[in-house]
Structure 1
Amino acid sequence: MRRGRSALAAAAAVALSCSLLSGSPAEAEPTADSQLRAALAAAPEDLQTPFEQSDGAEWTTHPESLRYYRQLDAASDRVRVTNVGRTVQDRPLQLVAVGAPTPDSRPAAAEGSVAMFVCSVHGDEPSGREACMTLARELAFTTDAALTRFLERTTVLFINANPDGWVADTRENADDVDVNRDYMALETPEARAVTKVIRDWNPDVLNDLHEYGPREYYDTDLLHLWPRNRNVDDQIHQLAQEMSNDYSAAQVTSTGRTAGIYGQLVKDGEPFLQVAGDEQARILRNYAGLVNVVGMLSETANAPLDEAEEEDESLLNRRRVEVNHDSAVGTLQMVMENRDLLAEQTAAAAERHTEAGAEQSGVIYFAGQDDMLPTDSDEVEPEPMCGYQLTGEQFTELRSTLNLHGITTRRHEDGRLVPLAQPTRGLIPLLLDERSEYRIAEATPLQEC
């Protein structure tokens, strides 16, 4: 894992606010948020996406995006485009890295500061990938001194995670699988590529950009959410809430737009029903937290929210992109203001999980979420195991999947031992225990390793 052991006393001193910021830019002096947005907007726009050229009338196609990123790579030393996999239909899965004066190598970046954006894993949600293309260009060409210094210390990654769905205009990939339900089993090449990037680049923060269908009581410009799985490290969970509420959502509301919590229906300002946003580890925002990344979900409304958008589809499309772009800018602001804290706590979380696994301390949860305790004894293990025994056959089948998750094993009797004394302690039982709904195997829990 990256970095040396951080002082646990620093963790105890972390005081994180989870309140949603609000207010209009017209009512206050310019803030750091507005200054960052203005600095990005001031970057040269010689290279524009087809979406921008059409003023929101036409979405950028996948072939056009490949050409755009090639041109961006050629035009700026700050940009490096590589392929990290191929889709079911053999399209490249591009990883775009941005840094100054050039992007750090993968090992150097993994030891430092990394911000990652997953751009429209659902192929019929185009605004996230448009926002990523715009933000990548702004970072590549900005002359702002603060942003240049930021890129010298932080590598920013963008990945378009479902090109086949993009071309087909479908939520799923070419095998009709929702990639955002595959971050445990890793059956799709798209989820394998995203997970491999997380494992190898070790991001501190991640923002997963989506769209949602608005309806009554559920109709804000942005819906956002942090990891809710109860096995996520407490400090990672709190930092993710902070990023989601006080940075990404606050960036959106600072422009006069609205934000709410993903999955919560709201009437008269009060939530009254949760319809989505649970703890499933196979969903990226939860998976990120379980592998000690400060992650979140951003969703912008994909249908008109007022009469003007009903009358002008281009206006609707521009708002969709701007909201996801502003949420991403909020994530960058989180890193700019808290880089050292994020580095310390992502490393410390890995250590805390390893220590808890070695000591067999704490509680393992198979259900429930951050605002909801499990109600069945089969959904919780108060006396954690030290590890899981895999048969030789199971290990042969699961070896590559465990490797992508960054999970280590060792020889044990006639098979392999998966010890819980490692940074992925919160994820391993969800993968291997018969009590886990989305398990990939039923391994044997051991009380002595």
Structure 2
Amino acid sequence: MKPRFVLAAAATAALLTTAVAVSAQAEPNPGAGADRPIAQALAAAPGSPLPTPFETSNGATWTSHPQSLRYLRSLDSASERVKVENIGRTTEGRPLQLVSVGAPAPKPVAEAAQGSVALFVCSVHGDEPSGREACLQLARDLALSTDAAVTRFLERTTVLFINANPDGWVADTRGNADGTDVNRDYLAAATPEAKAVLKVIRDWKPDVLNDLHEYGPREHYDTDLLHLWPRNRNVDARLHDLAREMSEEYASAQVTSLGYTSGVYGQLIKDGEPYLQVAGDGQARILRNYAGLANVVGMLSETANAPLDDAEEADPALTNRRRVTVNYNSALGSIQLVQEQRDTLITETAAAAERQTEAGADGSGVIYFAGQDDMIPTDADQVEPHPMCGYRLTGEQYEQLKPTLAVHGISSQAADEGRLVPLAQPDRGLIPLLLDARSEYGLVDATPLETC
């Protein structure tokens, strides 16, 4: 196999054994400074007294779902910064757990939503375990660190983790117990797993979101990390740019600072240049795109799930540790963005919601039913240059969609023996993708209205 950058042996061992673990028993370090980078603060900490099962095995075995439940109970007991709560049940009855971390304790939902919130969705595909492991480690490291920078960060920001597919985890399948790919269900919200994630977005109003995945490497597509921002053309332009900045300048930068390689998800690279895009479109039903439409600065992280060099080929545990470390550090990059640009994120996510509401009220802008940020659709049926003011649902359509609209946080009002869904609300860019006949993944064919 082709050679790639290899860290010095000592550094590799330190980085890959626990990612960047911390100790609950460590003495506070007031001289470190409350404003130093989070990545630096965690990397400088000693080893943890609460290793995950994956760490205990040194990457030889993955943490099982029952082990994770026990581990999170232990973490909840070990730190007042942690709260673990059940926010739903899977098809097979397993708990969908939300882990919140804050200092001195996690804030209530409404209070947290008024400040800054970072959300990590951990392995929505059940056969992609490294995201789950990265989330367990990062939740632990934030909860147990005594570093002043970490404490200061958690006083101002709530960090959330959700393991979004326990049934797939247990079965080692991509989909849930019904075989549904949950990462294609964020519009229809037919699965309990997608509903749980959407309710967290609706209620906690996260400023940033990082969706942790794995991919199968092949020729011209084989970096340690692949990353991507929301590409749907209805996403607020300012949030699109912030998401791309997080993806390229924070998550990717954090990973490559450790000597790993990085690329853009869906782009094949030959001789250093992209030559073909094979994935990474603007589908609103995929979480990174949905996040942007919900006025969240979101991104996708994918780490290679197979050996990338001869050393990894010879040692599966080394491959596993690299997979976790890459996802961990991508997540850490997102946290670094929040630390450095917290006020900007709070301001811009709120402003995006206001801009969308205003555009819906005055009929400005364009509605796109296809295309992506690097491709403008050319079919007239894929673009609405004179946006409707809203959609009328029949009574039957409304009864069908009422729970779905609620989970998205979309409001409606009685009108003409049916319901009016106005575009003058924060989800203005999402509503046509749910209700219009021109939307590839729309749920009903509602009637677009010129006047409301």
For the superposition of Structure 1 and Structure 2, which TM-score range results when normalised by the shorter chain?
A: over 0.9
Shift of the alpha carbon at 1:54? 0.4
Amino acid in the other structure paired with 1:217: H
Match of 1:93 among 84, 96, 113: 96
Q: What residue number does 1:361 align with? A: 364
1:147 shift after superposition: 1.0
Aligned-partner residue type, residue 429 of structure 1? P
Shift of 1:34: 9.9
In the TM superposition, what is the alpha-carbon distance from 1:39 to its structure 2 partner?
2.0
Q: Give SS of 2:179's match.
A: coil
Could you give the per-residue CA deviations for residues 351-395 of structure 1, whole angstroms, max 9, x where no partner exists? 000000000011000000000000100000001000000001111
Q: What secondary structure is seen at the aligned counterpart in 2 of 1:244? A: helix
Deviations 1:10-32 (A, max 9, x none): xxxxxxxxxxxxxx999xxxxx9
Letter in 1 for 2:383: V
**Partner Cα distance (2:172, 2:374) in 1:** 35
Shift of 1:36: 3.0
Paired residues for 1:126-137 under 5 Å: 126-137=129-140
Answer whether contact 1:113 1:153 (CA < 8 A) is retained: yes
Instruction: Measure the CA separation in 1 of the matches of 2:37 and 2:434.
Output: 44
Distance 1:33 1:177, change over 3 A: farther
Cα distance between partner residues in 2 of 1:346 and 1:335: 12
* Contact persistence 1:86–1:189 (CA under 8 A): yes
- Asked whether the equivalents of residues 43 and 138 of structure 1 are also in contact (C-alpha less than 8 Å), the reply is no
- Residue identity matched to 1:108: E
1:375-430 Cα deviation digits (max 9, x unpaired): 10000000100000000111111101001101000111110000000000000000
Match for residue 262 of structure 1?
Answer: 265
Asked whether the 8 Å contact 2:38–2:335 carries over to 1, the reply is: no
Identity %: 72
Q: Name 1:61's counterpart in structure 2.
A: 64
1:145 lines up with 2:114 in the alignment: no
For residues 293-325 of structure 1, the C-alpha deviation after alignment (integer angstroms, 9 at most, x for no partner) is 000000000000000000000000000000000
**Native 8 Å contact 2:90 2:192 kept in 1:** yes
Q: Deviations over 1:126-181 (max 9, x none)?
A: 00000000000000010110110000000000000000000000000000000000
Q: How many angstroms apart in 2 are the aligned matches of 1:362 and 1:37? A: 40
- Give the aligned CA root-mean-square deviation in angstroms: 1.6
Give the one of 384, 397, 400 matched to 1:394: 397
Q: 1:290, 1:427 within 8 Å by CA — same for their partners in 2?
A: yes
Q: Deviations over 1:212-245 (max 9, x none)?
A: 0000000000000000000000001000000000
Contact between 2:103 and 2:154, CA under 8 Å: does it hold in 1? yes
Report how far residue 35 of structure 1 moved.
5.2
In structure 2, C-alpha distance between the alignment counterparts of 1:35 and 1:107, rounded to whole Å: 27
* Cα distance per residue 1:76-122 (max 9 Å; x no partner): 00000001100010000000000000000111001111000000000
SS at match of 2:377: coil
Match of 1:440 in 2: 443
| Alpha-carbon distance in structure 2 between the residues aligned to 1:35 and 1:191 | 33
Are residues 1:176 and 2:179 paired?
Answer: yes
State the partner residue of 2:159: 156
Name the amino acid aligned to 1:160.
N
Q: Does 1:282 align with 2:282?
A: no
Alignment length (residue pairs): 422
Partner Cα separation in structure 2 for residue 160 and residue 85 of structure 1: 11
User: What is the match of residue 425 of structure 2?
Assistant: 422
User: Which residue is 2:120 aligned to?
Assistant: 117
User: Of residues 59, 66, 81 in structure 1, which corresponds to 2:84?
Assistant: 81
Paired position in structure 1 for 2:14: none
- 1:33 is displaced (CA, Å) by 12
1:43–1:142 Cα contact (<8 Å) kept: no
Aligned pairs for 1:17-416 within 5 A: 36-41=38-43, 42=45, 45-416=48-419
Contact 2:392–2:418, Cα closer than 8 Å, also in 1: yes
Distance 1:37 1:437 in 2: 41
Distance 1:363 1:33 in 2: 41
Structure 2, unpaired ranges of 5+: 1-6, 12-33
Distance 2:107 2:38 in 1: 23
CA contact (8 A) 2:35 2:149 kept: no
Does the 8 A contact of 1:123 with 1:169 survive in 2?
A: yes
Question: What is the CA–CA distance in structure 2 between the aligned matches of 1:154 and 1:398, rounded to whole Å?
Answer: 34
Query: What letter matches 1:36 in structure 2?
Result: I
